[in-house]
Structure 1
Amino acid sequence: MSSHASENPVTVSPKARDLARTSIIIDGHVDVPYRIYDNWVDVSQRTTEGDFDYPRAIAGGLNAPFMSIYVPASLDGSDASTLRAHHLIDHVEAIVGRSPDKFAIATSPAEVTAQFKKGLLSLPLGMENGAPIQGDLQNLQAFYDRGIRYITLTHSKSNLISDSSYDENRQWGGLSAFGKDVIKEMNRLGIMVDVSHVSDDAFYDTIKESRAPVIASHSSLRKFTPGFERNMDDSMLKALAKNGGVIMINFGSTFVDPVARKWSDERSSKLKEVETKYGENSNEAAEFKRDYRKHTPFPYANLDHVIEHIDYAVNLIGINHVGLGSDYDGVGDSLPINLKDVSTYPNLIQGLMDKGYSDSDIKKILGDNLLRVWMHVERLAQND
């Protein structure tokens, strides 16, 4: 499959558009809050930048994107980390407060369904990086009370909860003792446990510790990107399915296409050389970051690569364990051709139809699988 695909637009059938319009489409990971944190833009209107706004979401049929409450690892271990998470939740509340005719926070699958029927776009909340909990389970309760319904245990660095797939420092060899307590408390409260970003050892620890099904809110398959631990390998996928969970496929080119992955790895290694020689904050490093793409064009993936990941996962672990976690507004300018923003879900639906997927199976991938897990997590919490 060519990684340097042309921008041929997808011919979307009326049936695919209708499926987009009549299905609950849940996206496991959209980074709007961080995008508007320093530079507020009104996403109820068409915006010139970014991957998400209300008109494009409506055009794409998206009605329940998880708003990522992303707290950078640079704030780990500080009160600023907890504060940042609360501020980002404030931003989502502000989006809803300014446009209650368009948006509503969703804290349960029932609310997602009810708001879908009313024609409102639901904004459920997922926290990316558990560091804002800061070793205190009362903070976890506070975030649940504010609407957080999944937590990605760590991000780019090992934190108090878990080791990270991106960090060579494996201080816990998986989950920490506190991390195991966090998972128990998440199960008790009804917060989904998200294993995107964790190390392989932490993944298996999580599967062992969680009584509820877990999710990978925005991960793809290591089968296509060997050596990239941020994606999940076949054994992990099987363990996830056995646990009843869902992998939500990340759309970023470097997650789905080996050519784009190689480009990214080569860029990182060359940047490291420059930073080692001149310093991380040097003019030379800034110049490298600015100019690298000019000399070495980025090899965008395309829609077919994403379909390939979905199809492989479905064939390996079954239709009930696969969903969508685009990482819109979170992967910069690396989105695949024909999946550039939230208006393009009909392209994906058409791709699945062309592969022979039935309407009910497509609806499972679009949102029903995640709703099932979320309801299971809720039920377990209510029975505690």
Structure 2
Amino acid sequence: MRKFLLPALLSGLVLACGPKEVTVDYTQMSDEERLQAATEIAQSTIMVDGHVDLPYRMKVGGFTLQREILDVSVRTPDGNFDFPRSREGGLDAPFMSIYIPAGNQAIPGASKALADSLILMTERLANTFPDKFAMAYSPADVEANFNKGVISLPMGMENGSGIEDELANVEYFHGRGIRYITLTHGKDNLIGDASYDTTGTHGGLSEFGEQVVAEMNRVGIMVDLSHVSDNTFRDALAISKVPVIASHSSVRKFTPGFERNMSDELIKAMADNGGVMMINFGGSFIDSAYAAGSAKVREHIVNWLAENNLSRRDSAAQVYIKEYTAANNPFPTVQRVADHIDHVVNLVGIDYVGFGSDFDGVGDSLPTGLKDVSMFPNLIAELLKRGYSKEDIEKICYKNIFRVWQAVEDYAASQK
């Protein structure tokens, strides 16, 4: 089990008060003291992230079943996730996204085949580095791995197209270790309509989609409503017998017109269902001003490269791009992510929100102060500054998602 020393300030408080429980007012600390306290909380508390796109990054990076070209057991020069940075940030259980691009839907069998290959890659990672990673199929597995000091790799399938048109594949993927399925992705599929699509193929869930949701309940797979249209969201809530999740979605209030995020109506409906909303950190998800600001920066850089007859690969260009972007920073900050968490908490309470970063899935759009998994303490420190307690942080880090996950498991067990 990992053990950590309390910061000196907190140790003094505990010693002075003896065995009594101490309520610490983090808002009165200096920024340095608060970050120290946040780091201690991150390191000593189980932390779950609802969505990390490492498997597809491994595929793009050339990962094979014979050898690992992208070795995330050591610090990597790019991407947002690897073992050392995960340890620094206190991340213990990143849900590995088994991501299936919408383009695969057009080829029969392609979605399932890709899902199987990404699952194998994830398993290979755990088998190759058993002192660092382990598979996890339940909250109990995550807790056991935490106590052993290894990072859990639970899996969620992003895009239900992997089910193809065979309902039996729901149970198949449960057997392969999938513990949530995001019903759609960028396009409508056989299950239902997607938020990024404007076709409205089914007007929500299809008849097949209704069967899929019921079957996911039966076998013990969480229903993930990120990426779905509002109608699909409502239909799935009406059918599910257990709480649902949004593994990587943010608040629509801050991005008006962006259906991919959740409206207040849907946030309330998810809370009424007992579900949990896991906040996406991507720039376009947390601040509508990001798209306009980043477009201006990109336009300037493209013009500058052309004027200087350089490509992005040239070292001089890389230096200039880094300096110009820093001087004309289009990115939101970690405070904006906290704004989204605040909004959910103020709307429905502390029991219905979590982290769903989308690390390795949103490119370079991540906020200042939250660029990779090592920086989770910055977000926790900001929440402490706003008056969140250690118990609140624990709910956001893992207790809320554990509650939903366990409820789904318990319901499935009752159906056998």
Give the TM-score normalised by structure 2: 0.82
- Contact 2:160/2:184, CA 8 A, preserved across alignment: yes
Give the count of matched residue pairs. 356
Computing the radius of gyration from Cα coordinates, the structure with the larger value is: 2
The alignment status of 1:361 with 2:392, answered yes or no, reads: yes
> Which secondary structure does the structure 2 equivalent of 1:104 belong to?
strand
Residue 257 of structure 1: how far off its partner (Å):
0.9
2:140 equivalent in structure 1? 110
1:239 equivalent in structure 2? 269
- Contact 1:260/1:298, CA 8 A, preserved across alignment: no
1:177 equivalent in structure 2? 207
1:323 equivalent in structure 2? 354
In 1, the alpha carbon distance for the partners of 2:212 and 2:294 equals 34
> Which secondary structure does the structure 1 equivalent of 2:93 belong to?
strand
- Contact 1:29/1:327, CA 8 A, preserved across alignment: yes
Q: Which of 119, 141, 156 is matched with 1:89 structurally? A: 119
Q: Which of 47, 51, 55 is matched with 1:25 structurally? A: 47
In 2, the alpha carbon distance for the partners of 1:365 and 1:160 equals 33
1:131 equivalent in structure 2? 161
What is the correspondence of 1:220-299 to structure 2 with a 5 Å cutoff? 220-263=250-293, 299=330
What whole-Å deviation, never above 9, does each CA across 1:88-129 have from its counterpart, x for those lacking one?
A: 001101111110011101000110111111111000000000
- Contact 1:219/1:248, CA 8 A, preserved across alignment: yes
Q: Which of 128, 136, 149 is matched with 1:98 structurally? A: 128
Residue 311 of structure 1: how far off its partner (Å):
0.6
What is the correspondence of 1:20-59 to structure 2 with a 5 Å cutoff? 20-39=42-61, 40=63, 41-59=70-88
1:370 equivalent in structure 2? 401
> Which secondary structure does the structure 1 equivalent of 2:387 belong to?
coil
In 2, the alpha carbon distance for the partners of 1:21 and 1:213 equals 28
* Percentage of identical aligned residues: 54
CA RMSD of aligned residues (A): 2.2
Give the TM-score normalised by structure 1: 0.89
Residue range with higher mean Cα deviation, 10-19 or 139-148:
10-19
2:26 equivalent in structure 1? none
Residue 142 of structure 1: how far off its partner (Å):
1.4
In 2, the alpha carbon distance for the partners of 1:153 and 1:75 equals 15
Residue 266 of structure 1: how far off its partner (Å):
9.3
What is the correspondence of 1:156-235 to structure 2 with a 5 Å cutoff? 156-235=186-265
The alignment status of 1:65 with 2:94, answered yes or no, reads: yes
1:356 is matched by which residue type in structure 2? Answer: G
Give 5+ residue unaligned stretches, structure 2: 1-30, 64-69, 300-311
The alignment status of 1:314 with 2:345, answered yes or no, reads: yes
> Which secondary structure does the structure 1 equivalent of 2:48 belong to?
strand
Q: Which of 351, 372, 375 is matched with 1:341 structurally? A: 372
| Structure number with higher relative contact order (C-alpha < 8 Å, ≥ 6 residues apart) | 1
Q: Which of 35, 38, 49 is matched with 1:16 structurally? A: 38
2:305 equivalent in structure 1? none
- Contact 1:255/1:261, CA 8 A, preserved across alignment: no
In 2, the alpha carbon distance for the partners of 1:383 and 1:316 equals 32
In 2, the alpha carbon distance for the partners of 1:137 and 1:188 equals 12
- Contact 2:294/2:330, CA 8 A, preserved across alignment: no
Residue 14 of structure 1: how far off its partner (Å):
2.3
